[in-house]
Every structure is written in C-alpha cells, then in structure tokens.
Amino acid sequence: MSERKTYFVDVILPLSIPNTYTYRLPFELNESIQIGIRVIVPLGKSKLYTGIVVKIHESVPQNYQVKYVESVLDDQPIVTANQFKLWKWISNYYLANIGDVMNAALPSNFKLGSETKVSIHPEFDRDYSKLSDQEYLIVEAVELQDELTLKEVSEILQIKTIQPLIKKLIEKKAAIVSEELKAKYRPKYKSFVQISSELKTDDELGIVLNELESSSKNKKQVETLLRVVQLTNWGGGVQIPVLKKELITAGASDSSLATLSKKGVVEIFTAEVTRLEELNAEVSSIKELSENQYRAYSETKTLFETKSVVLLHGVTSSGKTEIYVKLIQEALDRGEQVLYLLPEIALTAQLINRLRHYFGDLVGVYHSRFNQNERVEIWNKVLNNDQNQFRIILGARSSIFLPYQKLGLIIVDEEHENSFKQYDPSPRYNARDVSVVLAAQHNAKVLMGSATPAIETYFNAKEGRYGLVELSERFGGVQMPEIQCADLVKENKQKTMKSHFSSFLLTEMEEALERGEQLILFQNRRGYTPLWSCEMCSWTPQCKNCDVSLTYHKSANVLKCHYCGYYLSPPSTCGACGSHKLKMLGFGTEKIEDELAVYLPNAKVKRMDLDTTRAKDSYATIINDFERKEIDILVGTQMVTKGLDFENVGLVGILSADQMLKFPDYRAFERSYQLMSQVAGRAGRKSKRGKVIIQAFEPNHWIIQKVMQNDYIGMYSQEIVERRNFNYPPFYRIINIQLRHRKRDVLEFGAQFFAQKLKAVFKERVLGPEVPMVARVRNNYLQNITIKFERTASAQKVKDIIMQKQHEFLAEYDFRSIRVVIDVDPQ
C-alpha cells in the first residue's frame, strides 16, 4: 500500500453494537494493515479495545470526527474471509449484533480490552532475561498486585497502548488473562504419595516397618505403608509417586496415610497432571464394519455425491460412531479438516478417548470451558491447516467458529439435541443449522446422526433436501431393550408403592443388582423436592426475584431458585397462615438418591445432574467411576440420556414419564419420545439385551406406546400431521420476541404497543403479547410476542420488518429502557 495515502479501516469491536466502526490509519501503519488482523482502537473517552479489520478503504466518513488506529497487533490475519462471511450470516439470520458474534467466536485471549485483567502465568519460569525492559516493568507491576487491568498497567507505566506488550508476554508464557486462571489451574493438581525421600535403602525401610509392627495398634498403617511401597514400585529409594486416589481405591486408608505422613514415613504432595498424560492413548487401527454398517456407510457416500447433508438415522448402539470414524479417516486421507460436533461439553469426555484411540494427536477438543491458551493454540493450528495436530476438532457448538482452511466433513452427533442452540447470550444460534452453512462455504459434507432425529431434520430428509440412511439394527445383533410400563395408578390403588418406586421397578432393580448389573435411573428434575406446600392453605415459598416456587435441596438444606440462584433456609411454619403442617410435593434426583439408601442399602449410588457436575472434571469422574463399575446405580437428569456408551447396564428406570408429556410446549411429545428412547438406549449395549421400566400414570399414552415399540417413524408420522394442522415447524418458522423490564406497567404497555405495530404488518401471524410460564426472572417482568410465518415466505423480508419495527419501538421515549430479546428458531 502506498506510503503517503490516507486509509480508513472498518473494524468490528467485541461489543454489543450493530455496526462496524471506522478509524483512520496513521501513515506509519500503512504497510502493516491487512484484513483479518487485530488493531487497537480507542472508543469513548479513554477506553481501548481490540477490534478486527474487515475493510480497508479511502472514503472519508462524513458527519463525525474519525479517530486513529493506535496500533496493529498481528502480522498475519487471525480471521479468514470465510469466517467473516459466516459471522455476517449468523448476525443476519439470528438478528444478532456483529460484535456479539465476534465475542462468541474469538477466544478471550484474542480480545485484550482496557478492562481485561492480567496476572503472572503460573508456569512462568522467572527467567527475566528473555523480557524487554518494558515487558519486565509490566511483570514487576503485575507481580506486586497479583492482578491488574490493562488500563491500570497502562496508567502505572505511562504507556498508552499496552496491548502489544501484553500480547508478547502471553506468548512468552509470562502473563495470562486472569479470567481463565480459576478454570484452568485448579483441577489440574492432584495429590500424590511417595515413600519419604529420607529412606534410601531397603534396610532403612525395614527398620521403620519393624518399629510400626511392634504395636498391634499400627496394623492399618503397616498395610497402608506396604501398599505405598507396592504401588510406587519403591526399591532402594527409587520410586514413582502414586496418585493418592489410586492408593485409597487399592485399600490404603486415608487416616493412616495422614499419620504416616506426620511420622515422616511417607510424603503427600500435590502436583500437576496434564490431561494428555492421563489419557495415554495408544493409536490402533479402525474397526471393520459389519455388513449393515457397511451398507449404511456406502449409502452415505453415494448420497454425498448429490447431497451436501445426509441424515443417518440409526438406533442406539447401531455403531454410528464407527461409521463416522471411517468417513473421518477418508477425509483425513484427502488432506481435509474434520469437525465433530457434540451437543454437550460433557459428552466430549467419553468420545475423546474413543477418537484418540484411532487418531491420536490429530484430535483436539474445543469448547468454551477449555482454557484460553489451548484454545488459541488450536485456533492457530486450524488456521494453518497443520498436518500433524488438531485436524479433527471435537467440540461443542462454539467450535463452528474456528478458522477452518479446508474443511471436508462435519459430523453432527445427536443432532436432535436442543443444546446445539445457544440461548444466552446473543447470538442465539443453532450450531447444527449453522454447520450446513459452514459446510457450504468449504464445499464440505454434513453427516447428522441420531437414533431419534428432530422432526424438522427427518422432514428435510423425507422431502429430499437431505439424504437419508437408515440403520435399524444394533451392532452385533444385540436386541433392542425390552420396555415395560409400571402402572402408577394401579400400584397406588393397591398400595404397593414404596415412596416413588413401584414394586415392579424395585423388584427388578434388586434382581439386576444381584446379577451384578448396573442401573440407570432417570428423573428429569434436580434437587430434592420441587415444591413445599402448606397443608392448610397451599402456600408455597417463592423466590423474591422470580415468579417461581423454590426447590428444596437437602444436602445444602436450602430452598433454591433455579432461575437466579436465590436461596433461603427452609421455613418451619407457613408464611401465610403460620401452620406447622408443611408437606413436600414431587421429587427430584436428590430425593431418589436419598431413598435408594433406604430401599437398596447395599448399592453404591451416584447422582449426575447440574448440581454434581459444576466443577470442570466432575462429569468425567462420574462417567469413569461408572465405567469402572465403582457405581451400581446412576441417578440423573437428562444428562444421563445423551449418547453415553456403557457396557454393563442391565436395567434403566424412567421414574415419571407423565411430567415430560405434560410440559406446555408444542415439542413436548417429540422431546418425551427422544428422552425416553435415548435413556432406554443406554440399557444392554454389549452382548446382552437390556430392560427398561417406565413408571407412568398414563401407560397407554400414545407416545409411551411408541417408545415401547421403538417406533420412531410411527411417532414422526403422527407428530408431523399435528405440526401441519397447527402451523408449527417445519411448516412454519417461529421468531420469539421477549420484552423485559423491571416495571410491570411499562412492560405491559410497551408489549401491547410493539405487538400492535407488528400486527399491522403480519396480521394473525403475531401471537401475544403473553406472559410466559415464569413471569418474572431476576426482578424483570417478561412478556412474549411470537411471530409464526409460512416457510414459503421470505424470511429475510420478515426479519427486516421486525428490525425496523424494533427500531421504531425503541425510539419511543417511554420504551427505551425495555430490553428486547429476539430468538429466531427458538428451541
């Protein structure tokens, strides 16, 4: 670019604003500017942000004074042209600000804003000689304070644009963006045990042992010490420290270890374990496909010749994953990159082992709970189409945002799952649907897989938009599980219920345990009891910020709001009439866990729900324990339904089918079918037919019948008629507009006003405003307006009008403070 010419750049900022900003480029940066690189730019009085250059031009902005770009961060683009196109598409389709899309797309290490906090990298080797003078000064300042914002660093050191220096420090592993510290560096440390390094010879150890053995009180300590010797492979002072957890599993006693450590015989210390060391996977060749799998695989390939998307509808345990693996191998052989999308971060834990087994380091995991340095590392390797690492990305929805260069195949596993859709914050995108657009950019193929496809997806396949491949047998000829119903009306009448367990289920559980099988119990509700209620006046304790009743959590002994986290101690008397007669209604996973201790006291029970899986690795731990048969019964919410593969599950119990069926949503039947079939599919996967028991007050409900008959197509055929008759997707599209405000009257008035504006154009396609089931969340009142329009209409036109009307609405003085949340294709 010419040296003395005046250029302007359009920049996307990581802020929730609709447009790009234009800045003037100082002459000295003319040579270094490129589309796709980061620049530091000022905004407002004193703030600096990292933005991405999307356009370089010479047209002088009218109407306002342009500011200058402060500096340039990269010598090469970090965002590709394809990515910009995808961001634009998402912004346009989901009616999201481009800055929000950028925020969702870029790892936060890339976005060094004034408010970003930095600290010293925990692995910084304190080799100050590799730092420049200015870098050294920054490190010194941050070391003193533990943590500083970039703005503070810049003020202390009197350097205006601090970001390029911070970027260098991050690259040199001297500094780190603080928000990730907590996420990354806690779970990586584990307790190890070794024999004291004071003991150097067998004789010295012998003396210690003799001393301990001289008193019978020390029997446990002696046993524990011998375990340590055994598991550390100790010999003449040479040893490998052993995980404390492993020792305890092998029979060592925790308290003896503590005593031995006090006596100086063993040492207990914490050290870092890297994930890769733990995995230690060997690469092996991929499995030979069965005849059925091979047919499905070749049909898929044939269909890919004419279709870009294929749906693989294969029953649970039909071996879909092995088919994916073969297609992945072929894409790799062609030098292409592969994206393997999963609905849930949690699921990556089990699948990564399986894929590493075949592909070793070529697989990388990418999701939002992953630490930032690794995310940036993966980003760069994908950007450069590295041939040795991360050519397969296994990830949750945010992995559609990586800078693919040569994407060949996208697998969308469990495509029916609604967690592919992001609800908060904006962009409210569905990664499954975006993946089709992403694939088109690269001329790549999409394979969607599910045992219970979403109605929309199956419809697309039936209509010929997608290819369709059916796989209706389990691998190895294992039969589909036998599904039976426990009639709760009958059992209640005959008084054979034991709390929430029918005698039918309880007996089957006992028998399965006796046979040494494992069990899964599914209850779609967490906590202990969802409802406390006064027997005299029906009063229930409510959240003070939201219009919902509080759920009792026994282990914490609190009543908790699942919307905002508010909690209080359980009251002993009714808040309305003062009566002491408070009863608990309903039940959640915690109560089931509790009651199992009464009815099946010898079984080892673990619970898997949102409450037990908050820590980063807790989900993987539960799954591992279950795989290693250290758990007999796993009780869980829908988390236990999703694509897990266990060998030894003989029985699955679904505790209350009715609850799901009654949920007031047009998808309730579809969802219930999917949930029940998926959890049932966990039963009897290897070599043996499993059993499923569904507890229901309405065992003849048609959905339950379809689940029992394993008749997806029957369910689909009936459901699609309803969708057509009542104008729901896939025949109609839905856009939800939620309005939020702290004052109920302002909101109600505003919602009426907005709905009228929309009705003037869209007529009867506008529903509402109406109060949602939960009418107030975090002290904000809510009102919903729904727009349903024909699939044949121009979605773009509809959206343009909505944006126009929103603009006019928010321009009204009274309504400026109302928050408008638009959700396209809500789930």
Interface residues with ligand ADP (CB under 6 A)?
A: 287-290, 293, 314, 316-322, 475, 645, 685
Q: Least Å distance between CB 311 and ligand ADP?
A: 14
Q: What CA–CA distance (Å, rounded) separates 22 from 497? A: 70
* DSSP 8-state assignment for residue 62: S
Q: Least Å distance between CB 315 and ligand ADP?
A: 7
Helix, strand, or coil (residue 268): strand
Q: Least Å distance between CB 576 and Zn ion?
A: 5
Q: Least Å distance between CB 78 and Zn ion?
A: 40
Q: What does 760 bind: Zn ion, ligand ADP, none (CB cut-off 5 to 8 Å by kind)?
A: none
Q: Least Å distance between CB 816 and ligand ADP?
A: 51
Q: Least Å distance between CB 550 and Zn ion?
A: 8
Structure tokens at 229: 């010797």
Contacts of 449 (CB under 8 A, 6+ apart): 311, 312, 314, 320, 324, 411, 412, 413, 414, 415
Interface ranges with Zn ion (CB under 5 A):
534, 536-537, 539, 543, 545-546, 561, 563-564, 566, 574, 576-577, 579
| Surface-to-core class of residue 110, CB atoms within 10 Å of its CB (0-12 exposed, 13-18 middle, 19+ buried) | buried
Between the CA of residue 244 and those of 196, 218, 248, what are the distances in Å? 15, 20, 6
Helix, strand, or coil (residue 118): strand
By C-beta, is 19 or 298 nearer to ligand ADP?
Answer: 298
By C-beta, is 314 or 730 nearer to ligand ADP?
Answer: 314
Q: Least Å distance between CB 629 and ligand ADP?
A: 16
**H or E element in which residue 560 lies:** strand 558-560
Q: What does 319 bind: Zn ion, ligand ADP, none (CB cut-off 5 to 8 Å by kind)?
A: ligand ADP
By C-beta, is 511 or 647 nearer to ligand ADP?
Answer: 647
Residue with tokens 């869209």: 762
Q: What CA–CA distance (Å, rounded) separates 459 from 471? A: 17
Half-sphere exposure of 253 (CA within 13 A, CB side): 11
Residue with tokens 């349903």: 788
By C-beta, is 286 or 721 nearer to ligand ADP?
Answer: 286
By C-beta, is 314 or 395 nearer to ligand ADP?
Answer: 314
Q: Least Å distance between CB 509 and ligand ADP?
A: 24
Q: 393 with 402: CB under 8 angstroms?
A: yes
By C-beta, is 408 or 449 nearer to ligand ADP?
Answer: 449
Q: What does 318 bind: ligand ADP, Zn ion, none (CB cut-off 5 to 8 Å by kind)?
A: ligand ADP
By C-beta, is 18 or 571 nearer to Zn ion?
Answer: 571
Q: 248 with 258: CB under 8 angstroms?
A: no
* Neighbour tally for 16: CB within 10 Å: 13
By C-beta, is 142 or 447 nearer to ligand ADP?
Answer: 447
By C-beta, is 606 or 686 nearer to ligand ADP?
Answer: 686
* DSSP 8-state assignment for residue 569: P
Pairing of strands 766-770, 780-790: antiparallel
Amino acid occupying residue 346: A
Structure tokens at 35: 């589309």
By C-beta, is 564 or 795 nearer to Zn ion?
Answer: 564
By C-beta, is 320 or 421 nearer to ligand ADP?
Answer: 320
Q: What CA–CA distance (Å, rounded) separates 159 from 149? A: 13
By C-beta, is 29 or 574 nearer to Zn ion?
Answer: 574
Q: What does 561 bind: Zn ion, ligand ADP, none (CB cut-off 5 to 8 Å by kind)?
A: Zn ion
Between the CA of residue 633 and those of 167, 589, 617, what are the distances in Å? 49, 12, 20
Q: Least Å distance between CB 413 and ligand ADP?
A: 8
Find residue 634's DSSP bridge partners.
520, 606
Backbone angles phi, psi at 810, to 5 degrees: -75, -10
Q: Least Å distance between CB 16 and Zn ion?
A: 24
By C-beta, is 686 or 778 nearer to ligand ADP?
Answer: 686
Q: What does 645 bind: ligand ADP, Zn ion, none (CB cut-off 5 to 8 Å by kind)?
A: ligand ADP
**E strand residue ranges, 82-171:** 117-120, 148-149
Q: What CA–CA distance (Å, rounded) separates 722 from 739? A: 29
Q: What does 87 bind: Zn ion, ligand ADP, none (CB cut-off 5 to 8 Å by kind)?
A: none
By C-beta, is 116 or 452 nearer to ligand ADP?
Answer: 452
Q: What CA–CA distance (Å, rounded) separates 474 from 482? A: 14
By C-beta, is 320 or 560 nearer to ligand ADP?
Answer: 320
Longest dimension (CA), the chain: 94
Pairing of strands 7-12, 47-57: antiparallel
Q: Least Å distance between CB 361 and ligand ADP?
A: 21
* DSSP 8-state assignment for residue 509: H
Q: What does 537 bind: ligand ADP, Zn ion, none (CB cut-off 5 to 8 Å by kind)?
A: Zn ion
Q: What does 774 bind: Zn ion, ligand ADP, none (CB cut-off 5 to 8 Å by kind)?
A: none
Contacts of 608 (CB under 8 A, 6+ apart): 619, 622, 634, 635, 636, 637, 639, 640
Q: What does 118 bind: Zn ion, ligand ADP, none (CB cut-off 5 to 8 Å by kind)?
A: none
Q: Least Å distance between CB 659 and Zn ion?
A: 21
* Neighbour tally for 557: CB within 10 Å: 11
Between the CA of residue 140 and those of 127, 134, 146, what are the distances in Å? 13, 10, 10
Q: What does 563 bind: Zn ion, ligand ADP, none (CB cut-off 5 to 8 Å by kind)?
A: Zn ion
Q: Least Å distance between CB 397 and Zn ion?
A: 26
Q: What CA–CA distance (Å, rounded) separates 196 from 209? A: 13
Between the CA of residue 679 and those of 522, 591, 594, 609, 682, what are the distances in Å? 7, 20, 21, 14, 5
By C-beta, is 14 or 395 nearer to ligand ADP?
Answer: 395
Q: Least Å distance between CB 583 and Zn ion?
A: 11
Q: Least Å distance between CB 525 and Zn ion?
A: 17
Q: Least Å distance between CB 294 and ligand ADP?
A: 9
Structure tokens at 408: 């060949």
Q: What does 577 bind: ligand ADP, Zn ion, none (CB cut-off 5 to 8 Å by kind)?
A: Zn ion
**H or E element in which residue 739 lies:** strand 732-741
Phi-psi region of 47 (alpha: psi -120 to 50; beta: other; left: phi over 0): beta
Q: 617 with 505: CB under 8 angstroms?
A: no
Q: Least Å distance between CB 354 and ligand ADP?
A: 8
Q: What does 579 bind: ligand ADP, Zn ion, none (CB cut-off 5 to 8 Å by kind)?
A: Zn ion
By C-beta, is 319 or 768 nearer to ligand ADP?
Answer: 319
Q: What CA–CA distance (Å, rounded) separates 213 from 223? A: 10
Q: What does 435 bind: ligand ADP, Zn ion, none (CB cut-off 5 to 8 Å by kind)?
A: none
